[in-house]
Amino acid sequence: MSATELAWFKSSYSGSQGDDCVEVARTEQAVCVRDSKDVTRPHFAVGRDHWTEFVAFVGS
C-alpha cells in the first residue's frame, strides 16, 4: 500500500507547535510511521505486535 493510500494521523505525543511531529497509519499487518514535516521521505512499517510492545515500553 502506498503512503498516499494510507489514512495518516498525528500522534497524540507530537508537539503542538508543529515541530517534532510523527504521523502513523494502520494496516492489517503493520503500523506505518513517518515524519509529518517531510512526507516525501519513505515511511517505515512495524508489525502490530512489535508496535504494541514499543508503545507499552515508552508509556511506562
Is-contact 22 14, C-beta < 8 A?
yes
The CA distance from 41 to 57, in Å, is: 26
pTM of the shown model: 0.74
Q: Residue 57: which region, alpha, beta or left (left: phi > 0; alpha: psi -120 to 50)? A: alpha
The CA distance from 19 to 13, in Å, is: 11
Between residues 42 and 13, the one the model is more confident about:
42
The CA distance from 7 to 24, in Å, is: 8
pLDDT over 70 at 48, yes or no:
yes
